[in-house]
Structure 1
Amino acid sequence: MLLARLGLRGGEVSALTLDDLDWDRGEIVVHGKGQRLARLPLPADAGAALVGYLRQDRPACSTRRVFIRIKAPRRGFVSPSTICCIVHRALKRAGLTPAFKGAHLLRHSLATDLLRRGASLVEIGQLLRHSQPNTTQIYAKVGIAALRAIALPWPGVAS
């Protein structure tokens, strides 16, 4: 899902409305925890995917929610756990068995990929909209594990 690149939480995805898509500015308005609002850039490929979904795949209905149930009744997702179920089913269909299978897997994968590509923990924390820097530190252990794999042995120490 291209929206995963924005670091959205399951609840933020399920609550997304048509009014949250600012096509003129190329932004998406995210209603985060604690009634905080954030305006994030909408990457061109994610915007194109959303346009395709809205024009071709999203059934006609009166709800302003972006993502709706395929089956009747046509309405927005009831809870953020719906996104977790969708991710879980997609992983199962793909034959993947990660330790964590919910929607948070998408945020974690994004952060891990950004870290591997050289992003700082501060930058990752900003993208994920962490209010405390120590929340982002969980991803630092991924960086240490990657460094261990490529580190040379200390001179004079048997490897």
Structure 2
Amino acid sequence: MSTRPRATGPAAEPSAAVPAPSPRDAAWLEAYAEHLTHERNRSPRTVSAYRADLRHLAAHVGPGQDVFAEVDVEDLRGWLAAMAHAGLARTTLARRVAAVRTFMAWLRREGLRHDDPALRLRSPRPDSSLPHVLQDLQTRRLLDWAEARVAEAEEGDDAVARAVALRDAAVLELLYATGARVAEVVALDRDDVDLERRVATLTGKGDRQRTVPFGGPAARAVHLWSSAGRPALLTGESGPALFLGARGGRLGVRQVRAVVDRGLEALGDTAARGPHTLRHTAATHLLDGGADLRTVQELLGHSSLRTTQVYTHVSIDRLREGYRQAHPRA
């Protein structure tokens, strides 16, 4: 067991600056990042998150010291306790536990440690709150809002404004039609979408590809954007990107989030925010409409059926609420 004094409190504050790890710890982190990238095929975003989590651990346990060779389970528990006290969400704590577990297991396999202190580390239970889901009427109103913006833009002479409105309508339709993650939609190239067959090839986590269908409204919206909107924003920097920003580059996740948030706020009767709302909504509406859980899992690109099962709880809650409102002896 380490004889180092136990660090507490300040290093776990979410807003605190994280000191650089020791040279040896930094070298181990880089080697682990290479392992995640090239052997485990993890996305750059996942690798960056794991690296940040492990740097946070090193800074909390022993700033400037060689931590990873000596850290023990009590150090790890103290780190989690300090983060919980600082108010970090359980999902964040669970991700950091996962980062430490995989890292410590890798250190042992590489012969850099003879033990694995993370084996005795318990992951916090996830929050029991269910995702925000739009009702059918709310979804139609959101998509109608996007179409109204297109109609309004068409009355003016600003070609860029019209193109942006067409793009936003197509993005909203495609997010809801496919249940895709926002990063998957903005990463689409023109050849990834087949409007005749009404299918899109999405690249998800771990660079796993899947082909998902979409309906007529989304196909029409994407066609209008491609034929009447995209040419107005096209520049030499656009490349094959399907959706473009106002300056001609590939559309970004933050831009889509801003559009979705404006639309949801315009509804006036939901606290839901963010593009993931449309993913949750699509999954729940599919299950409500009779789709089986495996089909929804494939459409969403979940590697585990357990992740998809949260939407069955959402659907049951919706069913229960409808029963309470409609049945005379509810």
Band of TM-score, shorter chain: 0.7 to 0.9
Provide the residue aligned with 2:109 in structure 1.
Answer: none
Please say if 1:95 is aligned against 2:268: yes
The percent identity for this pair of structures is 33
RMSD: 2.3
Provide the residue aligned with 1:75 in structure 2.
Answer: 249
Structure 1 position 82, deviation (Å): 2.8
Provide the residue aligned with 2:129 in structure 1.
Answer: none
Aligned AA (2:249): R
Question: What pairs with 1:1-159 in structure 2 (closer than 5 Å)?
Answer: 1-3=172-174, 4-23=176-195, 25-58=197-230, 59=232, 60-62=234-236, 63=238, 64-70=240-246, 73-78=247-252, 80-98=253-271, 100-149=272-321, 150=323
Q: Deviations over 1:73-120 (max 9, x none)?
A: 221124x2332222112212333432x301100011111112222222
Please, which runs of 5 or more residues in structure 2 have no aligned partner? 1-171
Aligned AA (2:250): G
CA–CA distance in structure 1, aligned partners of residues 242 and 268 of structure 2: 28
Structure 1 position 136, deviation (Å): 0.7
Structure 1 position 25, deviation (Å): 4.6
TM-score normalized with structure 2 length: 0.41
Cα distance change of structure 1 residues 25 and 119 upon mapping to structure 2, 3 Å threshold:
closer
Check whether the contact 2:195–2:223 (CA below 8 A) recurs between aligned residues: no
CA–CA distance in structure 1, aligned partners of residues 223 and 315 of structure 2: 36
Aligned AA (1:75): G
Larger-Rg structure: 2
3-state SS, counterpart of residue 34 of structure 1: helix
TM-score normalized with structure 1 length: 0.80
CA–CA distance in structure 2, aligned partners of residues 148 and 24 of structure 1: 39
CA–CA distance in structure 2, aligned partners of residues 112 and 23 of structure 1: 25
Aligned AA (2:260): V
3-state SS, counterpart of residue 309 of structure 2: helix
Aligned AA (1:69): G
Bigger shift: 19-28 or 129-138? Answer: 19-28
Q: Identify, as 1 or 2, the structure richer in helix.
A: 2
Cα distance change of structure 1 residues 121 and 24 upon mapping to structure 2, 3 Å threshold:
closer
3-state SS, counterpart of residue 74 of structure 1: coil
CA–CA distance in structure 2, aligned partners of residues 97 and 110 of structure 1: 16
Cα distance change of structure 1 residues 55 and 89 upon mapping to structure 2, 3 Å threshold:
same
3-state SS, counterpart of residue 257 of structure 2: helix
Structure 1 position 23, deviation (Å): 4.5
